[in-house]
Chains A and B, each alone.
Chain A
Amino acid sequence: MPPAGIWIDGLIQSCAYMTMAFGMVLVFSILGILNWTHGQFYMLGAFVVYYAITAVGIPFPLGLLAAGVLVAGLSILVKKIIIDHITGDLYVGVATMGLIFFFEGAASMIFGMQDKGLARVLPGVVDLGSFSVSYQKIAVVSFTLVIMIILFIMLNFTRIGLAIRATAQQPDAASLYGVSVERLSLTVMGIGCGLAAMAGGIIAPLYTINPFIGGIPMIMSLLAIVIGGLGSLTGAIVGGLILGFLNSVVAYHLSYLSEVVLFMLVVIILLVRPQGLFGASVK
C-alpha cells in the first residue's frame, strides 16, 4: 500500500479532473463539441487565482470565483467570435485546438514562462496520527464538494437545469417548447469553461503554475469522460475520481510507466464497455 499522502494527492488531482471533466461533458452535451482548449482555461484559472492573491490581495475563495467568472466570459467570447462561425464538429475541434497555442503563447507573453508558486494561503495541518493533511488540501476537497453540490442542485432542481438536461437529450423538442438553444449554449459554454478555470484555480496553491500546465489535465479529463461514458455527468465524476487516484498511486509504484498503465486500463475498460462505465445508448 502506498502511504496515505499519496492517496490524498490522488484525491486532490481527482478534484481537479472531476471539475474539469464535468465542464467538458456539459459543453459536449449541449454544443455537441469537444472543447480542446479546456486545458488552457484551466491554466488561465490558475493564473487568475495567482494574481488575485499576490497582486490584488483578495482571499482565495474570491479569487476562485473571479477565475470562474472571468474565464466564463472569455469562453463566451470564444464561442461568439470563433465557434459560431464555423460549421462542422471536426472544424470546430481543429479551431479550438488552434486556440491551445494561442492561449499558451499569449500567457507566455503576458505572464512569463517561468514557474510561479503560491505560498500556502492556508497554513497549518490537521494531525491524524500516522499522517497529517494540510488545511490547504482540505480546502481543495471542500471547495470541489461545494461546487459539485451546487451543480447537482442546479441541474436537478432549477428551471435552467431542467432545460439543460432536456436539451441534451432531445434538442428539437426542447426548442419546440421554448428553450432558446442558442442562449442555452452560451450559458453552458460559460459554466463548463468556468469550471475548468475553477479546477485550475483550486489546486493552484499546491502546484507550480506556468503557461503549459493545461495539457495533462486536459488529457486526463478527456480520458475520464471517455471511460465514464461520453455525455454522462456521473461518468465524468467517477472517471475523474478513478484517474486522479490512478495517476498518483500508479505513479508511486511505477514512476514513468504509470502513463502506459493508465492508457492500457482505459483501453481495457473500453474493450469491455465500449460505451463507457455510465454511457447508455441514450444520454
Chain B
Amino acid sequence: MLELKNLWVRYGKKAAVRRLSLSVNKGDFVTILGANGAGKSTTLNAISGLVKVKKGQGEIVFKGEKINGLKPGKIAARGLIQIPEGRKLFPLLTVKENLMMGAYLRKDRKGVQHSMDRALTLFPDLKDKLNADGRELSGGQQQMLAIARGLMAEPELLMLDEPSLGLSPLLRQLLAERIKEIHREGVTLILVEQNARLGLMLASYGYVLENGELALQGKTSDLMLDENVKKAYLGV
C-alpha cells in the first residue's frame, strides 16, 4: 500500500533521513521507533507532503502511484492522513469545527455525518464538548480530538506521530485501546513512538531508525527480544 524507496530528506546540508526504504501492506500495523531526532517525524512529514522531497531523493509510492511532490491536501485526498506531532489542533475553533476541518475535502454530507458519529462513538468524551474551543480541552481530550479529526478524513492509511506524548499512564492505556480499535475497523496504521514499549506492544512490525537511517527492522515480537533494542529503547 505504501512504499518508500531509498528516501533522502535534507534540511540544508544536513540529511535528516538517509536511504530509507520501507513498505507497509494493506491492513498492517507498523511502528517506527527511534530516539529524539532519529528522523521519525521527518519521515512522516515527507510522506504526508509537509516536507518536500527533492528530485532524485527517492520515491514515495502510495496505492501504486508516486506521491512525492504532491501538495499535502492532494495526498490527504487519496486517503493518506497524518495526525501530526503535538496535535496541532485549531485552538480557537470549536471541537465540532475541528472535526469538520478533518473532513474539509469531503463532499458527501451523509458520509461526513457517519464519520462524525463513528468518531464520537470511539471518543465519547468529545460529545459533551462539541461547542467548546479546542484549547479548552484537557491534554487527553486534545489528543483524542486530534485522532478523531484525522478519522473524519476517512483515512485508508493513518499515520500517528507520538500520540502518547504528555499523557498519563492511564490515558496512554485508553489511547492504546482506541488505536487498536481503529486498526480492527480496517485502517492501516503507522505509529511513530518515542515510547518504544507502546509501539512494540501495539504494532506487528517495526522499523528502528538511528540518525536518519534504518538500523533494524522485524516483527515486533522479535524486536522486543533483540538485545540492542532492549538496551537502547526499553531500558532493560
* A residues whose Cβ falls under 8 Å from a Cβ of B: 159, 162-163, 165-166, 169-170, 172-180, 282-283
Collect the chain A residues with CB atoms within 8 Å of residue B82's CB: 176
Partner of B90 from the list A170, A175, A178, A180 (CB cut-off 8 Å) is A170
Which DSSP category, helix, strand, loop or mixed, fits chain A's interface? helix
**B201 on interface, CB distance cutoff 8 Å:** no
**Does the CB pair B102–A169 fall under 8 Å?**
no
> Could you count the A-B residue pairs with CB atoms below 8 Å apart for me: how many are there?
71
How far is the CB of B103 from the nearest CB of chain A, in Å? 8
**B73 on interface, CB distance cutoff 8 Å:** yes
Give the docked Cα–Cα distance between A175 and B104 (Å): 10
* B residues whose Cβ falls under 8 Å from a Cβ of A: 48, 50, 71-73, 76-77, 81-82, 84, 88-93, 97, 100-102, 104-105, 135, 149, 153
**Does the CB pair B50–A166 fall under 8 Å?**
no
Q: Nearest chain-B residue to A174 (Cβ)?
A: B101
Nearest 7 CB-CB pairs, A to B? Answer: A178-B73, A178-B105, A173-B88, A175-B72, A178-B104, A169-B90, A282-B91
Collect the chain A residues with CB atoms within 8 Å of residue B102's CB: 177
**Does the CB pair A166–B73 fall under 8 Å?**
no
**Does the CB pair A283–B92 fall under 8 Å?**
yes
**Does the CB pair A176–B92 fall under 8 Å?**
no
**Does the CB pair B135–A282 fall under 8 Å?**
yes
**Does the CB pair B91–A169 fall under 8 Å?**
yes
**Does the CB pair B71–A175 fall under 8 Å?**
yes
Q: Nearest chain-B residue to A156 (Cβ)?
A: B97
Give the docked Cα–Cα distance between A174 and B73 (Å): 9
Give the docked Cα–Cα distance between A177 and B100 (Å): 10
How far is the CB of A55 from the nearest CB of chain B, in Å? 44
How far is the CB of A186 from the nearest CB of chain B, in Å? 15
How far is the CB of A165 from the nearest CB of chain B, in Å? 6
**Does the CB pair B84–A177 fall under 8 Å?**
no
How far is the CB of B163 from the nearest CB of chain A, in Å? 15
Given contacts A162-B100, A163-B104, A282-B135, contact A175 B91 (CB under 8 A): no
- Given A173-B101, A176-B50, output 15 extra A-B contacts at Cβ < 8 Å: A162-B93, A165-B93, A170-B90, A173-B90, A174-B101, A175-B72, A175-B73, A176-B48, A176-B72, A177-B102, A177-B149, A177-B153, A180-B71, A180-B73, A282-B91
Give the docked Cα–Cα distance between A169 and B94 (Å): 12
Residue among A169, A170, A173, A282 facing the most chain B CB atoms (10 A cut-off): A173
**Does the CB pair B135–A177 fall under 8 Å?**
no
**Does the CB pair B90–A176 fall under 8 Å?**
no
**Does the CB pair B92–A165 fall under 8 Å?**
yes
Collect the chain A residues with CB atoms within 8 Å of residue B72's CB: 175-176, 178
